[in-house]
Structure formats: C-alpha cells, structure tokens
Chain A
C-alpha cells in the first residue's frame, strides 16, 4: 500500500498573497493531479502531471501554477489569493496515464482567505 500526504492541512491566507500547497505520494505512481472542491460543487481539475517533469492544465488552471519537483511530489501555488475564498484542494495520483487507472486521493488542504 501507499499513502498521499498533503501539507498543510489548513491554510489561512491574506488577499493577494501567493500560497503554496504540497503533495507527496509513496505509491511510485507516474501521474499526479490537483483538484479543487467548492461547497455544492463537484471536484474540478486544476493541473495534472502525466510523469515527472510534465505539467498539463486542467479546466480550472487560471490563477494557479504547479510544479512537479520529482516523481513523488507535486506542488500547487495560488498565485494571488482572492478575498473570502474558501475551498478544499485535493491531490491525487494514479499508476499511469491513459488506462483509466484508479486515482488515489490525499486528505485535502482547506484554504480560507481573509
């Protein structure tokens, strides 16, 4: 088995601030994902990385940057936090890209912008 770790668990920021969320997986999976979940909405894909050194934009990439520093880690940066923004960010990984492999999710980072 493996595990996905997300840090921090809770993130409180100020309007306009640049905020970074981190994700680590020890499954040795090739592909990693960042999703955003807002209250009353489904998960929406922000960025994904097919393999190390790859970055792909999802449906909700505007306002975010991502970095796949190594195979096991995938970071997401909110480039300028929006006032009163509140959401949960979920990181996921899957063995490969293109085979409908199961995605494994982390526990999430809750963001609140004051």
Chain B
C-alpha cells in the first residue's frame, strides 16, 4: 500500500542552525502523488505548512522548503536557520491527485523538533 516514512524524532537543534527532516514515500496505488508538510505548534491544531503537486517543483513557506523528487521518492523539509518558534511536530503526507480519490491523505508518524535558544 501507500506509505510515508520520515525522520524519527525528537530532533533537537540550536537556534540559527539548519534543519532537515527526511521524508520518503511509496505510492504504489497513486498515479499522480501530491506531497504535503503539515505542522502542529504547541497548543494549536495541525495546519498546512506547504504542498507541492508537481514532481520537480519546490514549495516554500515560513522559511521552510521542500522539493518533490520523483526519482528518489523524497520530499525532505529544510530550513537554513531555525528559530525557537519553529519548535513543533512536522508531518509529511501523501495525497492522490485523481478526483476519484478526493482528498485522502496518508500521513507519516510526525517528527518532533525542539529548537534550543
């Protein structure tokens, strides 16, 4: 079946350091995968950080970037210089672009990131 594997947390980094969270996917039943990063900040609900629907494209938001690489089936999330406010749980998710599948998403387990001041 379809699945998402991401970096196991917690990941601890110091403020102003770089961060990368790995995400790889397996889309055995999806012809046109869409890829998403969701984030849950402390005390808040899960929210979309960025999404990319076309292979080879890059998405960016709040200083984070992720490139949809179809060859390596990866969608790693990166930020060059993190801030304490980036402490959160990050989820990689896989979706199907075809209308028949609608908005069904397959999520990874989430990666908790702690940014030290």
Which residues in A have some Cβ–Cβ distance to B below 8 Å? 4, 31, 33, 40-45, 48, 50, 58, 90, 92, 94, 97-108
Contacts and interface: CB of A to CB of B under 8 A. Distances in A.
Contact of A100 (B38, B47, B95): B95
Contacts of A4: 45
B77 to A, nearest CB: 15
Contacts of B108: 42
Interface size bracket, B side: 20 to 34
Main DSSP-derived SS at the A contact region: loop
26 contacts: A4-B45, A31-B102, A40-B109, A42-B91, A42-B109, A42-B110, A43-B91, A43-B107, A44-B107, A90-B45, A90-B46, A97-B102, A98-B99, A98-B100, A98-B102, A99-B99, A100-B34, A100-B53, A100-B97, A101-B103, A104-B45, A105-B38, A105-B46, A106-B45, A107-B44, A107-B45
A108 B105 CA distance: 18
Contacts of A48: 102, 104
A44 B105 CA distance: 9
A97 B44 contact: no
Contacts of B106: 42
Contacts of B4: 42
